[in-house]
């Protein structure tokens, strides 16, 4: 007779695989449902900004990519649309880096290899019965819908356009971001310390996104060069362009109980935030770490489906989401206003923040995962 599973994880993306590995360390038997929607290829253009907390978590699982695929960010420069400017520096925070820009295919390959060699994890092609089911299927989660959980979504009426660039000048391990005319453009350094390649995320209005997508590669690169004020010289596209609509969303409840079995949401199945602060995957990995820790610390007589444990996880992660989601949403709304009064106000605020000392340092450490809000 086959041994029953303690936990079934629906969704084999980065959050799902990380959670599986964390639970397997505690000798919990895990079924990980393979999800073709999360498969990546060598030309996958996605890259994530991961903070120190996320790096420490992945290193503990021996899944951190090599330096070529995890570029350290030593500085971050942010420009407003009327003279405002903010600079963050890893040296000022006594940190190895502000963040690391990680290639998705490299990270998923490391996680996939670790999962294959973990005997407590079994890859399955369809959901199986388990005491606890963790839903890590992403923002379009079918299981969340089947459970009847409302997913409150606030559209930003923007699309994010992502691609890769080869730049005339090296990036110098600097992440750059421009807020202008209601748009947000980010250049994220890639290919190691001396690289001259960047990942691009350009958040623009829906109509503008269609116009930019219709441009030739050369004209699109020229538009990026203008929007970035020539900071890295001449630009050449180095991959396809992808685009997706932006929303702020949150599930109304993250746990469901039916008899002795429970379901719990994590990652984008539970929440999404605007990409302007690069915190989406950090939040998802934080969910995995918190859920694993709550189950690890449970009394020996408590089931992994115990409602007290799962409510503890839900409270903790909703608090973290409130801080990060509120900050990113506030920034997006502030810079989406294009009248002169708001331009002056927000850029005055940026200049004041740049001189704020301890406040600026605290915000930086929050983003780096070195401080915890509970």
- Predicted confidence (pLDDT) per residue in 95-125, tens digit: 889 899 999 999 999 999 999 999 999 999 9
Q: What's the N-to-C CA distance of the chain in angstroms?
A: 43
Residue 50: what pLDDT? 94
H or E, element range at 103: strand 99-103
Non-local CB neighbours of 271 within 8 Å, separated by 6+ positions: 249, 250, 251, 283, 321, 325
Question: Which pTM was predicted?
Answer: 0.88
Share of residues in the chain with pLDDT > 90 (%): 63
Confidence of residue 90 (pLDDT cuts 50, 70, 90): confident
Confidence band, pLDDT 50/70/90 cuts, at residue 1: very low
The confidence score (pLDDT) of residue 214 equals 95
Rounded mean pLDDT of 228-239? Answer: 95
Per-residue confidence (pLDDT) for residue 89, from 0 to 100: 86
Rounded to whole angstroms, the Cα distance separating 229 from 178 reads 9
Percentage of residues of the chain with pLDDT beyond 70: 81
pLDDT: which is higher, 92 or 202: 202
- Per-residue confidence band for 267, with pLDDT thresholds at 50, 70 and 90: very high
How many residues comprise the chain?
374
pLDDT, tens digit, 9 for 90 and up, residues 11-58: 999 999 999 999 999 999 999 998 655 555 556 778 899 999 999 999
Q: How would you classify the pairing of strands 75-79 and 174-180?
A: parallel
Q: Is the pLDDT of residue 239 over 70?
A: yes
Tell me: pLDDT of 5 over 70.
yes
- Segment 91-97 mean pLDDT: 83
Which range has the worst mean pLDDT, 108-112, 140-144, 258-262? Answer: 258-262
Mean pLDDT on 202-214? 93
Asked whether the CA dihedral 180, 185, 187, 188 is positive or negative, the reply is: positive
Q: What is the mean pLDDT of residues 245-263?
A: 91
Query: Is 177 in contact with 77 (CB distance < 8 Å)?
Result: yes
**Structural domains present in the chain:** 5-153+247-367 (3.50.50.60)
- What's the rounded mean pLDDT across residues 151-169? 92
Tell me, what's the pLDDT at 274? Answer: 76
Tokens 């009426």 correspond to: 157
| Torsional sign, CA 257, 261, 266, 269 | negative
State the average pLDDT for the chain. 86
Is it the case that residue 353 has pLDDT exceeding 50? no
pLDDT at 374: 43
Q: Which of 55-69, 122-136, 189-203, 341-355 has the lowest mean pLDDT?
A: 341-355
Distance CA 201, CA 47 (A): 10
Three-class DSSP labels, 50-105: ECHHHHHHHHHCCCCCCHHHEEEECEEEEECCCCCEEEEECHHHCCCCCEEEEEHH
Q: 338-353 b/e with 16+ CB inside 10 Å = b?
A: eeeeebeebbeebeee
- For residue 123, count CB atoms less than 10 angstroms from its CB and return exposed for 0-12, middle for 13-18, buried for 19 or more: middle
Three-state DSSP class for residue 190: strand
Place of tokens 């409840």: 253
């Amino acid at each position: 007779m086959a041994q029953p599973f303690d936990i079934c994880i629906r969704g084999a993306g980065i959050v799902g695989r990380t959670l599986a590995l964390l639970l397997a360390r505690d000798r919990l038997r895990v079924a990980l449902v393979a999800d073709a929607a999360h498969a990546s290829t060598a030309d996958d253009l996605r890259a994530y900004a991961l903070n120190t907390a996320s790096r420490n978590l992945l290193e503990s699982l021996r899944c951190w990519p090599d330096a070529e695929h995890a570029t350290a960010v030593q500085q971050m420069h942010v420009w407003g649309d009327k003279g405002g400017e903010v600079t963050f520096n890893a040296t000022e925070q006594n940190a190895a880096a502000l963040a690391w820009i990680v290639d998705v295919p490299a990270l998923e390959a490391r996680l996939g290899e670790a999962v294959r060699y973990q005997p407590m994890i079994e890859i399955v092609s369809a959901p199986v019965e388990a005491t606890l089911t963790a839903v890590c299927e992403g923002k379009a989660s079918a299981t969340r819908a089947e459970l009847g959980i409302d997913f409150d979504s606030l559209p930003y009426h923007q699309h994010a356009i992502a691609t890769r660039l080869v730049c005339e000048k090296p990036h110098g391990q600097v992440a750059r971001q421009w807020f202008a005319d209601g748009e947000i453009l980010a250049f994220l350094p890639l290919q190691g310390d001396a690289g001259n390649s960047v990942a691009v995320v350009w958040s623009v209005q829906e109509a503008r996104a269609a116009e930019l997508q219709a441009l030739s590669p050369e004209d699109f690169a020229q538009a990026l060069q203008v929007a970035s004020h020539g900071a890295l010289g001449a630009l050449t596209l180095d991959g396809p362009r992808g685009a997706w609509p932006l929303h702020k969303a949150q599930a109304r409840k993250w746990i469901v109980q039916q008899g002795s079995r429970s379901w719990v949401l994590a990652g984008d199945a539970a929440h999404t935030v605007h990409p302007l602060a690069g915190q989406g995957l950090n939040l998802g990995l934080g969910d995995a770490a918190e859920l694993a820790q709550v189950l690890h610390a449970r009394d020996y007589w408590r089931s992994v489906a115990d409602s007290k444990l799962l409510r503890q996880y839900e409270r903790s992660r909703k608090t973290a989401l409130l801080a990060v989601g509120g900050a990113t949403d506030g920034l997006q709304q502030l810079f989406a206003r294009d009248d002169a009064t708001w331009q002056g106000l927000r850029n005055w605020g940026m200049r004041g923040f740049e001189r704020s000392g301890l406040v600026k340092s605290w915000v930086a450490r929050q983003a780096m995962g070195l401080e915890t809000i509970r």
